[in-house]
Amino acid sequence: MIPIFKPDFGKDELAQVKEVLDSGMLACGKKTAELEEKFAKYVGCQYAVGVNSCTSALFLAYTTLNQNRLVYIPSVTFVSVANMAVHAGLHVEFNDSIPVGFGYRIGNTRIWDCAHELYRGCFHEITDSVNGTIACFSFYPTKNLGSAEGGMICTNDKGLAKYFRLMRSHGMERIGYDWDYSVQRAGWKFAMNDIQAAIALAKLNKLDHELSMRQKVVEWYNEELGKNVTGYHIYPIMVKDRDKLMKEMRKQGIGYTVNFKPIHLHPAYKNWHIDREQLQGSEKWGTHELSLPLYPTLTKKEVAIVCQTVQKYIL
């Protein structure tokens, strides 16, 4: 069996989690603060705020915009990007860009969806990093830095960072270290917990090495398939008979997935004002894209087996 993804947790992650369990403090605490400080330095921003998912990060970022604002998002991305915009009271318009596997700017905003891309110094390199820029990262298990889910909001704006810290925890400020607190604004329960932070800390310490291993896997695929894929999160290919290929891959014990079904084709958005003529690229992607196994411990031999299976189906 060659799965689509294989988590690689070991003694470092166990040691970090044990430290949290031994402390008796499992909620958002010292480990989250430690991760925030180290993550900010790693990506190259001034402030990082830990939350329970990238979905929550996106929602909090959207709430910094005026309601009824029009935002432009790709149809080929995870549906949370659209859902959270709707919940924040924004108007969504889909376009035909395909940024899968990379960080991209949500049009007409200073918000960047970096769920699929994370490397040292990326905040400065991916975004314009001016004051007011917000980048949202994901720690979903399959991502470059996978944890027990979780996410991070990064910015160089001190005021925005203060707002995110407040609103991730019910809009609540503690008064000293006793029971008392003051609710400054009506917020949400989006805070990261220290178990999530502990696992992410262990993974962050070896992220450079794991990214180099992912890069090798991508290079092996490119050599075998004659492609020039550059992202390290997923390896997408376009195939002519996806259902037939998926059946063959199941038979061979090879994992796969589709990243992603275009958002505008989901029932929740069927009554949206959508010009499908302008989304033909997204619909072609949704019909023909298949993502191959990609994780740091995938071997060259396993890559060759996958490529032998998919080769004749590639468009």
pLDDT digits (tens, 9 = 90+) for 35-63: 999 999 999 999 999 999 999 999 999 99
For residues 219 and 287, membership in a common domain is answered with yes
What is the rounded distance in angstroms from the CA atom of residue 149 to the CA atom of residue 196? 7
For residues 143 and 292, membership in a common domain is answered with no
State the pLDDT confidence band at 177, using cuts at 50, 70 and 90: low
Q: Is residue 173 part of a domain?
A: yes
Q: Are strands 289-292 and 235-238 parallel, antiparallel or unpaired?
A: antiparallel
| CB atoms near residue 8 (< 10 Å) | 14
For residues 201 and 211, membership in a common domain is answered with no
For residues 130 and 159, membership in a common domain is answered with yes
pTM for this prediction? 0.96
For residues 275 and 149, membership in a common domain is answered with no
pLDDT digits (tens, 9 = 90+) for 66-77: 999 999 999 999
Task: State which of 160, 177, 205 marks the end of a domain.
Answer: 205
Mean pLDDT, the chain, whole residue set: 95
For residues 193 and 255, membership in a common domain is answered with no
- In this predicted structure, what is the pLDDT of residue 97? 86
For residues 235 and 277, membership in a common domain is answered with yes
The amino acid that residue 170 corresponds to is H
Give the structural domain span for 24: 11-65+109-205
Q: Is residue 81 part of a domain?
A: no
Distance of CA 274 to the CA centre of its chain: 26
**Residue 279 contacts residue 96 (beta carbons within 8 Å):** yes
Q: Is residue 124 part of a domain?
A: yes
Among the residue ranges 163-172, 203-212, 272-281, the one predicted with the least confidence is 272-281
Q: Scanning the structure block, which residue is given the tokens 């001190």?
A: 158
Task: State which of 205, 234, 252 marks the end of a domain.
Answer: 205
- In this predicted structure, what is the pLDDT of residue 272? 84
Phi, psi of 183 (to 5 degrees): -90, 110
Task: State which of 174, 189, 205 marks the end of a domain.
Answer: 205
The total domain count for the chain is 2
Contacts of 67 (CB under 8 A, 6+ apart): 88, 89, 90
pLDDT digits (tens, 9 = 90+) for 219-253: 999 999 999 999 999 999 999 999 999 999 999 99
